[in-house]
Structure 1
Amino acid sequence: MAARPGVLLTQPCVDSMLPSLEKSFTVFKLWEASDQDAFVSASAHSIRGLVGNTVVGASGPLIDALPRLEIVSSFSVGLDKIDLPKCRQRGIAVTYTPDVLTDCTADTALSLMLACMRRIPAADRFVRQGRWPAEKNFVHTTKVSGKRVGIVGLGRIGMAIAKRAEAFGCEIAYQGRSPKPNLTFNYYSTAKELATNSDVVVIACPLNEETKGSINREVIDALGPSGFLINIARGPIVDEQELVKALVEGRLGGAGLDVFDDEPHVPQELMSLDNVVLTPHVGSLTWETRRAMADLVVANLEAYFSGKPLLTPV
Structure 2
Amino acid sequence: MTDISILMPAPMPEPVIAALDARFTLHRLWEQPDADAFLAAHGTAIRGLAANTLAGPVGAALFDRLPALEIVANFGVGYDNIDAGAAAARGIVVTNTPGVLDAEVADLAIGLLLATIRRLPQADRYVRDGRWEDAPFPLSPTLRGRTVGILGLGAIGQQIARRLEGFDVAVAYHQRTRRDDVAYPYHDTPVALAQACDVLIAIVPGGAATRHLVDAEVLAALGPDGILVNVARGSVVDQPALIAALRDRTILAAGLDVYADEPHVPPELRAMENVVLLPHLGSASEHTRAAMGQLVVDNLLSWFGRGTALTPVPETA
TM tier, shorter chain?
over 0.9
Residue correspondence of structure 1 range 108-147 to structure 2 within 5 A:
108-134=108-134, 136-147=135-146
Distance 1:197 1:263 in 2: 31
Distance 2:308 2:20 in 1: 19
Residue correspondence of structure 1 range 1-314 to structure 2 within 5 A:
4-56=3-55, 58-134=58-134, 136-314=135-313
1:308, CA displacement in angstroms?
4.2
Please give the TM-score of this superposition, normalised by the length of structure 1: 0.96
Task: Judge conservation of contact 2:6–2:48 (CA < 8 Å) in 1.
Answer: yes
Gaps of 5+ in 1: none
1:23, CA displacement in angstroms?
1.3
Report the secondary structure of 1:104's partner residue. helix
Distance 1:145 1:108 in 2: 20
Identity %: 44
Distance 2:162 2:258 in 1: 22
Distance 2:191 2:106 in 1: 23
Task: Judge conservation of contact 1:58–1:72 (CA < 8 Å) in 2.
Answer: no
1:249, CA displacement in angstroms?
1.3
2:126 counterpart letter in structure 1: F
User: What are the superposed Cα offsets for residues 178-215 of structure 1, whole Å, 9 maximum, x if unpaired?
Assistant: 11003110100100010011111000001122210111
2:3 counterpart letter in structure 1: R
Distance 1:215 1:35 in 2: 40
Report the secondary structure of 2:271's partner residue. coil
User: What are the superposed Cα offsets for residues 230-279 of structure 1, whole Å, 9 maximum, x if unpaired?
Assistant: 00110011100000011111111100000000111111011122220111
Distance 2:151 2:2 in 1: 47
Report the secondary structure of 1:121's partner residue. helix
Count of matched residue pairs:
312
User: What are the superposed Cα offsets for residues 38-88 of structure 1, whole Å, 9 maximum, x if unpaired?
Assistant: 222222022110011123252221111111111000001111011111111
Report the secondary structure of 2:240's partner residue. helix
Gaps of 5+ in 2: none
